[in-house]
Structure 1
Amino acid sequence: MTIPMAPAELYRHGLRLLLEKNIPAWVDLWDEDGVLEFPFAPQGWPERLEGRQAIADYMRHYPDHVDVHDFPDVKIHRTTDSETIVVEMRGVGRLVVTDSPFDMTYIAVVTVKDGRIISYRDYWNPIAVQQPGADFVGATR
């Protein structure tokens, strides 16, 4: 029997998978009924994705939009709920379509149950991707 990863360990593993552009393995970290939310999503962008399949569909083309090179400054804070962490971090790389630099600050509230992500609220800065010519995963416009 394998012991499930603790939330912080699972989150760091997920970051490594994103750097490797292994989106299917990243999606496999999710519970079948997991929920991914974007409270600051601009108009026309998804605010809530329900279920692993919806998250997989959303993330499928992520490497075609954003070439992430590193996640510097990752700070993981434990909460009074042992299954929930708060993460502060930066993602740096480049936007593929424009070949312009990508430098995004995130705060995420992540809940893990039985070694799977069940809830992920991603508080990212939509202004950074609304620059002229910028294209980002998830846009429906």
Structure 2
Amino acid sequence: MQSPREVVERLFQELPARDADRFVALLAPDAVFEIPFAVPGMPTRLRGRDEIRRHLEQRWSGLTDIQVHGIHPVVYETTDPEVVLVENEVDMSRPNAPRERVRTSVNVIRVRDGEVVLFRDYMDTARTARLSTHQTS
């Protein structure tokens, strides 16, 4: 069985593809996905693979003009063997804008028995909303 760190590293390797099915395949069936600082209209808590998949498909479909060249997570193990912290930066480009590397979020992820049971996404949802409406960040 993979360690929590290995599961999280694999999860972040899958992210540039923006494939919700591949992402949720690493989650427990009853996993929880939390977005504590969501913009109005965005859910703050999702439960289960299907609900998480639908949310990610919708969220990622609004970012079609953004090209992701890579995601660079820095993974930190904690004193709790199930919990991993991640700071991640996205190497991306938008039409008519220079390529940039942006710190997009910090995540608290709990992995149990080789599956993600909690993914808490402290992301800059306001920046993401601006990107999806093609405004400058």
Q: TM-score, normalised by structure 2?
A: 0.80
Q: What CA distance in whole angstroms lies between the structure 2 residues aligned with 1:67 and 1:18? A: 12
Alignment of 1:8 with 2:11, yes or no, is no
For each residue in 1:33-74, what CA deviation from the matched residue of structure 2 results, as whole angstroms up to 9, or x when unmatched? 0000001101111111111110111122425525322113x2
Match of residue 22, structure 2, among 20, 25, 48: 25
Asked whether the equivalents of residues 83 and 111 of structure 1 are also in contact (C-alpha less than 8 Å), the reply is yes
Q: What CA distance in whole angstroms lies between the structure 1 residues aligned with 2:118 and 2:127? A: 24
- Residue 122 of structure 2 corresponds to 123
- Residue 67 of structure 1 corresponds to 67
Q: Which segments of 5 or more consecutive residues in structure 1 lack a partner in the other structure? A: 137-141
Match of residue 38, structure 1, among 35, 47, 57: 35
Q: What CA distance in whole angstroms lies between the structure 1 residues aligned with 2:74 and 2:35? A: 20
Q: Which segments of 5 or more consecutive residues in structure 2 lack a partner in the other structure? A: none
Asked whether the equivalents of residues 37 and 125 of structure 2 are also in contact (C-alpha less than 8 Å), the reply is yes
Amino acid at match of 1:34: A
For each residue in 1:10-34, what CA deviation from the matched residue of structure 2 results, as whole angstroms up to 9, or x when unmatched? 1111122122343312111010100
Q: How does 1:79-90 map to 2 (within 5 A)?
A: 79-90=78-89
Task: Choose between structure 1 and 2: higher helix proportion.
Answer: 2
CA RMSD of aligned residues (A): 2.2
Amino acid at match of 1:113: R
Q: Secondary structure at the match of 1:81?
A: coil
Q: TM-score, normalised by structure 1?
A: 0.78
Displacement of 1:75: 1.5
Q: Secondary structure at the match of 2:110?
A: strand
Displacement of 1:105: 2.4
Displacement of 1:83: 0.6
